[in-house]
Structure 1
């Protein structure tokens, strides 16, 4: 039994046939649509005609966004750790005062 779904995605005027798990379809279609939107934006804003350049800039934009999210997440985790340490110190102080 083959549980793969065959779809075709169009990116930068090319069609890419894929065999995917059904649960991946929505995410892949949204990603392709997002890529197409960024490509259109670059082509209009910078009058770039070479698809290779547009795709490289598109990839850079998506990668930069992921990296920034990772940096922000790391900062949030560090902030949370600091707050937990502060809370633990307050609890320890309170418990030691009761003894």
Structure 2
């Protein structure tokens, strides 16, 4: 299957894109919808005079969410590894 050509509208501008499959297309469309909703929220609630400022605020919000999620995952992963080590030590001590 070849690449699918789609058009995504963000902040009133159309961007032609190529995607590999319908799942990727769905992800792109959902992302564009989320960006457009966030743009609307910023325009309604803050005095922004430039679309670039709104887009920068959106980019910061999405990037910070991704970073926070990554940090939380790393923390959770460390906790899981520590718990496994603790349980392994407990089992080892009972087997000796």
Scaled to the shorter chain, the TM-score interval is over 0.9
TM-score between both structures, scaled by the size of structure 1: 0.91
With 57-66 and 45-54 compared, the bigger mean Cα shift is at 45-54
Post-superposition offset of 1:47: 2.4
Offset, 1:49: 2.8
Q: Identify the residue that residue 16 of structure 2 maps to in structure 1.
A: 17
TM-score, scaled relative to structure 2: 0.94
1:33 counterpart residue number: 33
Q: Which residue of the partner structure matches residue 45 of structure 2?
A: 45
Alpha-carbon offset, residue 22 of structure 1 = 2.2
Deviation at 1:10, TM superposition (A): 0.5
Pairwise CA distance, 1:83: 0.3
Question: Bigger radius of gyration, 1 or 2?
Answer: 1
CA distance in 1, matches of 2:84, 2:26: 38
Give me the whole-angstrom Cα distance separating, in 1, the residues matched to 2:84 and 2:7.
Answer: 48
| Cα RMSD after superposing both structures | 1.0
Please give the alpha-carbon distance, in whole angstroms, between the structure 1 residues aligned to 2:5 and 2:11. 20
Distance 1:67 1:47 in 2: 27
Please name the residue that 1:81 is paired with.
81
Structure 1 gap segments, 5+ residues each: none
Gaps of at least 5 residues in structure 2 are none
* Structure 1 residue matching 2:18: 3-state secondary structure: strand
